[in-house]
Amino acid sequence: MAWRVRALERVIVTAVISEKETEAEAYASMEELKSLVTTAGGTVMATTVQNRPTPDVSTYVGKGKADEIEALVDTWEADVVVVNGELSPRQGQSLSARTSARVIDRTQLILDIFADRAQTKEGRIQVELAQLTYLLPRLRGQGHALSRLGGGIGTRGPGETKLETDRRHIQRRMDELKKDLRRIRKHRTTLRKQKEKQKDPQFTLVGYTNAGKTTLLNALTNEEALAEDLLFATLDPLTRALRLPSGLGVRVSDTVGFIRGLPTTLIAAFRATLEEVAGADVLIHVIDATSPEAEVEKQTVMELLDELGAGEIPVITVMNKAESLDRDMVPAVSAARPRLYISAREDKNIDDLQTVMEEELIKQMSFYSISIPASEGRRLYAIRKSTIVREESFDEENERYKLQGYAFDHHPQIAANKENDKKEDHS
């Protein structure tokens, strides 16, 4: 869209500090906004804030502040002004009329980053749908922004204005995207059911953006997924296989990072992807232990998990980036137990994390004790791979393996063995 922030563009960031937030919260949010600008490829030249009870209904900031922003644009020859909030159509138009720079808001900036980073077909569809949802009520004065949408706008009926045609074109495109998403969702549901048949437990990494989830995925699975020191480095979900210390095979999925003020249009568009979180057996909540906003970031993640219907799933809290902590520095985060400190980058305490992962699964499993004939090697292998084996011995006299451990209820191999034991007891 026309609001894209391109590499080396000069950016002015501005915000209104309202009565609803403290100055500390506001400035932390501004620092986050500057990181978003950097992620989008821009360079922050200056920042400006204004204290007022609520944003101005017409220009978001007051007239004097709008004049100051215009002066900063001239001084720094800025290309873009980014507002740390969501502009109404009226506010965006009024502020844009006062400056030669493009004016965008926090939502548009995040959508821009997502558009740049979406790799899969599903990701690109979801981003475009979110962009169009955002654009639709802001069409007036935005006609030039539609050039990226492709053909179809020029075919209008008698008496229709270009704005009405644009609106129809966008609505038609949104309907097409929703249909594509339903088709992709149906396919993913089929794949998920196939995975569920494999009985591999699912761990899902969640956390604030740039907490180190992808780096942790690499450390756990010895893979090399792209991990960057940027916000939203991961957008499309990624799943890897892992074998825990007991031999149990599990799946570990990475997810898009959460952020304060994540646009509602984006949550709606990405709900199909984010709902994958709700299918996890255990969540691994990755927190940046070095962040001064760790508690606020944790709360943001927990609120979004509740919204996605994942608030009751067991959580392992991981305080990451421990290698950067001072010895006496302990973040004030009221995180749930189990909680452990790790360094995904330096592979520290990753073994401890895997042990905790097993312990959390055991809480959802039942104890079993079975014996298997030595001749049933394939079945023995399947049980070792799909359950947590705690003890194993071989009875040479009867040529049978005896195993004790934990498995999910209705595990096919364990259930089959219990039936066989019953038959042998009756015979």
**Residue matched to tokens 């506010």:** 91
208 annotated as a binding-site residue: yes
Asked if residue 344 belongs to a known ligand binding site, the reply is: yes
- Determine whether the annotation assigns residue 212 to a binding site: yes
Q: In the block, which residue shows the tokens 């020029």?
A: 154
CA 395/CA 370 separation, integer angstroms: 12
- Strand, coil or helix: 81: strand
Helix axes 412-426, 377-386, angle to 10 degrees: 130
Q: Is 211 flagged in the annotation as binding?
A: yes
Could you tell me which of 320, 155, 124, 165 has the C-alpha nearest to residue 229? 320
189 marked as binding residue: no
Contacts with 22 (C-beta within 8 Å, 6 or more apart), sequence order: none
Q: Is 232 marked as binding a ligand?
A: yes
Q: Which two tokens stand for residue 22?
A: 């403290």
Find where tokens 């059911």 sit: 193
- Contact yes or no for 419/412 (Cβ under 8 A): no
According to the annotation, is 209 in a ligand binding site? Answer: yes
The response to whether 72 counts as a known ligand-binding position is no
d(CA 2, CA 146): 8
236: annotated binding-site residue?
A: yes
Q: Are 232 and 41 in contact (CB under 8 A)?
A: no
**Contact in structure between 256 and 98 (CB atoms under 8 Å):** no
Between the CA atoms of 286, 353, 202 and 267, what dihedral angle is there, to the nearest 10 degrees? 0
C-alpha R_g of the chain: 27
Ligand-binding annotation for 254, yes or no, is yes
Q: Are 59 and 95 in contact (CB under 8 A)?
A: yes
CB-based contact 311:336 (threshold 8 Å): no
Tokens of 98: 């006062």
Q: How far apart are CA 66 and CA 47, in angstroms?
A: 13
123 annotated as belonging to a binding site for a ligand: no
H/E element holding 174? helix 162-197
**Does 256 appear as a known binding residue?**
yes
Check whether 46 is labelled as a binding-site residue: no
Phi and psi, residue 126, nearest 5°: -65, -40
Judge whether 247 is annotated as a binding position: no
Q: In this structure, what token pair is assigned to residue 5? A: 């922030």
Q: What's phi and psi for 388, nearest 5 deg?
A: -95, 105
Query: Is 345 annotated as contributing to ligand binding?
Result: yes
| Ligand-binding site membership of 425 (annotated) | no
CA–CA distance, 197 with 386 (Å, rounded to integer): 12
Token pair for 166: 């644009």
Contact partners, residue 140, CB within 8 Å, separation at least 6: 89, 93, 163
281 labeled binding residue: no
Q: Is 355 annotated as a binding residue?
A: no
The binding site for GTP comprises: 207-214, 232-236, 254-257, 343-345
The binding site comprises: 207-214, 232-236, 254-257, 343-345
The binding site for Mg(2+) comprises: 214, 234
